[in-house]
Structures are given as structure tokens and as C-alpha cells.
């Protein structure tokens, strides 16, 4: 049975003190989540936030990125091994902002997935299409290419550790949100694609999150869709009450 997850991606927000206060507020506001709650603060906050949440069942720590090499002369970068040593269990890979601003390609993301799994981290692998792809109705093929290039080299045992996050790029930070029908269509297409590669049992066990302006107002409708297993939340994860409302929407 697949896991229900709400993951909060803080991106480049909150000082350490502010992050500690936000974590405290989230822990006070969220009592008994139905699924897993994953918090992805900046690298500088991992150790402190991790210590706060490790005492709570169903709460888990994630990093927002990792380097594709295990170690070396890469000034300013952070390895999967370093992330794991801070107590993280998950790492976000392939977020659209990494693809867009840092020009990360599918082959590099495949390397990141490999090194994350080798260090015991569960990748939250992001995929999604820009607006011009959606407008010409080639979004399913576009996302399929991302998944095939970066994930489908994995053996079944490793693939089962991956969480997929579908994030329509045109809906990230824009205030626009895919309708629940649009989200379900793509989530179902992803699950069908996984089934063709790994079989129906693996596909049915794969957690697929929705990311793209998911908020306290629309989370219930999105999460009610049969193939939507939770959300990768950006801005709304920076407010404890909104984040708690989204978590409560898990089915």
C-alpha cells in the first residue's frame, strides 16, 4: 500500500532562528497526521530541525538538493553523504527550479538519484512540463521522457524507494493551479507508465505527490483524486496553520 505524504519545501526562506520557530509551530499545530510529514529546510537548518522533529512519529527530514558526485573539489556543494549524516531521510531531486535556473539535465539527475540511494536517502523526484508543452498537449510524453531518462534505469528494489512529485511548472509560484482533473490525469498517466516498466503492483505502491501552488484551500480537492497521494508544498509550508490544514487533507 502506497504512502500518503505531505512534504514542505522551504526553498531559500527562513533564517535558522525563524526556521526553528516555524518547526516548533508546525509540531504544536499538527497532532496526529494521517500520513508522513516531510520537512525540507535549507541545508544550514538540517541538523537543528532534524533534532526537533525526530521525537515525533511520522515526521521526517529532507534536503532540497544534493550533488551528483560523492565528494570532491566542488566548492559550495553538498553531498548526499553529508545530508545523511545530518539525519535526513529524503532528498528532493530535479525540482523545476533546479532544472530551470541551474540547467540540471536528466542525465545529471539520474546520477543524483543513484548517489542518494547509495547513501540511504529516499529521492523525492520532481517532474513536470512548462506551459508551452501543456498548451500543445504533449505534456504526458514530456514527463514520460523525464522519468525514463532519470529513473527507469533503477532495479525494482531501488525504484520502490523513490517518491515521484508531479509539478506543472506553469503552476509553481504563479498562483495558477492545475485543476483536480488535470492533476489526476497526469498522476494516472505516470502510474500507467510505471506499470509498463515495473508492473502493476509496483505502480500501485508508488507514491505520487502533486506540487504546484497546492494550498490550504485546494488541498482537499486535489488529495481526493485516486492517484494523488499528497503534495510537495512550497509557499504554503512556510505558515504553520496552512501547512497543518494541508496535512489534515490527506485521505
pTM of the entire predicted model: 0.97
Q: Is 179 exposed, middle or buried (0-12, 13-18, 19+ CB in 10 A)?
A: exposed
Which one-letter DSSP state was computed for residue 95?
A: -
CA–CA gap between residue 69 and residue 76 (Å, rounded):
13
Q: In the chain, what are the domain boundaries?
A: 5-248
For the 5-248 domain, the top CATH level (class) is alpha beta
From first to last of its 251 residues, the chain has per-residue pLDDT tens of 899 999 999 999 999 999 999 999 999 999 999 999 999 999 999 999 999 999 999 999 999 999 999 999 999 999 999 999 999 999 999 999 999 999 999 999 999 999 999 999 999 999 999 989 998 999 999 999 999 999 999 999 999 999 999 999 988 777 777 899 999 999 999 999 999 999 999 999 999 999 988 999 999 999 999 999 999 999 999 999 999 999 999 98
Burial 139-160 (b: 16+ CB within 10 A, else e): bbeebbebbeebbeebeeeebe
Which one-letter DSSP state was computed for residue 45?
A: G
Active site residue 188: no
- The residue from 45, 95, 139, 187 that is catalytic is 95
CA–CA gap between residue 38 and residue 17 (Å, rounded):
19
CA–CA gap between residue 202 and residue 35 (Å, rounded):
19
Cβ atoms 93, 124 nearer than 8 A: yes
Does an H or E element contain 218, and which?
Answer: none
CA–CA gap between residue 154 and residue 61 (Å, rounded):
24
Cβ atoms 194, 206 nearer than 8 A: yes
| 6: phi then psi, degrees, rounded to nearest 5 | -120, 120
CB contact set of 61 (below 8 Å; sequence gap of 6+): 38, 39, 40, 46, 49, 50, 53, 54, 86, 87, 88, 89, 90
Active site residue 139: no
Amino acid at each position: 500500500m502506497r504512502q500518503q505524504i505531505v512534504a514542505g519545501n522551504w526553498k531559500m526562506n527562513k533564517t535558522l532562528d525563524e526556521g526553528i520557530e516555524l518547526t516548533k509551530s508546525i509540531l504544536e499545530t499538527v497532532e496526529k497526521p494521517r500520513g508522513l510529514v516531510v520537512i525540507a529546510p535549507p541545508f544550514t537548518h538540517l541538523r537543528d530541525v532534524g533534532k526537533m522533529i525526530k521525537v515525533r512519529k511520522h515526521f521526517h527530514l529532507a534536503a532540497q538538493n544534493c550533488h551528483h558526485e560523492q565528494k570532491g573539489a566542488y566548492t559550495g556543494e553538498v553531498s548526499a553523504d553529508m545530508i545523511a549524516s545530518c539525519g535526513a531521510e529524503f532528498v528532493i531531486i530535479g525540482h523545476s527550479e533546479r532544472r530551470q535556473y541551474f540547467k540540471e539535465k536528466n542525465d545529471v539527475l539520474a546520477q543524483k538519484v543513484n548517489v542518494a540511494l547509495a547513501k540511504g536517502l529516499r529521492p523525492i523526484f520532481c517532474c513536470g512540463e512548462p506551459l508551452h508543452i501543456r498548451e500543445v498537449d504533449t505534456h504526458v510524453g514530456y514527463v514520460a521522457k523525464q522519468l525514463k531518462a532519470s529513473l527507469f534505469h533503477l532495479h525494482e528494489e531501488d525504484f520502490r524507494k523513490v517518491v515521484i512529485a508531479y509539478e506543472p511548472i506553469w503552476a509553481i509560484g504563479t498562483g495558477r493551479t492545475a485543476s483536480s482533473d488535470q492533476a489526476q490525469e497526469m498522476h494516472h498517466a505516470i502510474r500507467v507508465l510505471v506499470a509498463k516498466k515495473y508492473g502493476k503492483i509496483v505502480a500501485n505502491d508508488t507514491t505520487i505527490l502533486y506540487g504546484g501552488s497546492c494550498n490550504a484551500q485546494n488541498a482537499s480537492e486535489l488529495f481526493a483524486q485516486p492517484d494523488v497521494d499528497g503534495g510537495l508544498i512550497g509557499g504554503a509550508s512556510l505558515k504553520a496553520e496552512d501547512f497543518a490544514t494541508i496535512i489534515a487533507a490527506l485521505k
